[in-house]
Amino acid sequence: MPEYKYHELGDLAKEAPKLFGIPTGTKLDEMFFKIEEEDGALVKKPLGGLPYLSVFNISGIPDTGKSLFAEQFAAYQASKGYKVLFVTVESPANFLYSAIKEKCKALSLDFDEVEKNIVVIDASEEEELRENPKALMETMAYAIKEKKITNVIIDSITGLYEHKEVMARQIVRQFFNFLKKWRQTGLFVSQKRSAQASESVEAAGGLAVAHIVDGTIVVDKKLIMSQREASLYKKPIGDVIRLIRIDGCRLSGHDSRTWVFEITELGIVNIIAPLAEYIRR
């Protein structure tokens, strides 16, 4: 008789990950929460970051701050002494180095500490790493094992299936499972075609990849082109308003509102306020 693997729910208690946040260094950290009992009442407590061991997509059209967010997360975690693996598929590693160095200056983070704690896999220039998921995963496994990595960023996951989009789900699934197996908190940068509306399912990564990951952060921008929009958003015509929202999270509670954020001149993601509040100001 074949042997089937099953668990009694109670047996999984020891294996279940603890629920706490991995800070990103942005206000997003306050947008995830958990429910705790306090004096007999249930209260909502901020998680303080992305849920530990979760794998998130950050999705958006070009120039919406996806990579900036990912770099900020990497720098922030590394500055706290946590080892980060940054798989760069788009930008060559030397450019990433400069970007993170600048970010540290702007955020007053200790670059020496950050530099020590980030390991980069440069798949942007090495075809084998970009085209062969198995080779990339083996390389990542080495880095995770030998450098004691706890957080993994892939910028971008889309770059691993460009020109073969039918493979999208399969590739995302493989990397998702890989990060789960190696007990990593992960962030996938996912590029969205500009033709896909921000409220559509494609906004969350396209091709149903959002169903695979634990949750999606959607970033978007809107060019202010009418007087009405100008007075609504209190910005001059021609300016850009940037929006961010958490589009589902299966590991913890989360703020489901759309928030306004800015990218400062120094390339820092600064989340300001919920859109509704921002308009009322």
Which residues of the shown chain bind another protein in the complex (CB under 8 A)?
A: 93, 97, 100, 115, 118-122, 125-126, 128-129, 132, 135-136, 138-139, 141-143, 146-147
Beta carbon of residue 121, minimum distance to another protein (angstroms, whole number)? 5
Q: Smallest gap, in angstroms, from Cβ of residue 131 to another protein?
A: 10
Of residues 138 and 199, the one with the C-beta less far from another protein = 138
Q: How far is the CB of 57 from another protein (least distance, A)?
A: 24
Q: Which is nearer to another protein, 93 or 273 (CB)?
A: 93
**CB-based contacts of 234, cutoff 8 Å, min separation 6:** 279, 281
Comparing CA positions, the residue from 185, 87, 89 lying closest to residue 142 is: 87
| Closest CB 75 distance from another protein, rounded Å | 11
Instruction: Pick between residue 120 and residue 243 the one whose CB is nearest to another protein.
Output: 120
Shorter beta-carbon distance to another protein: residue 124 or 158: 124
Shortest Cβ 81–another protein spacing (Å): 15
CB-wise, 105 or 234, nearer to another protein? 105
Nearer to another protein, 94 or 231 (CB): 94
Min dist. Cβ of residue 47 to another protein (A): 29
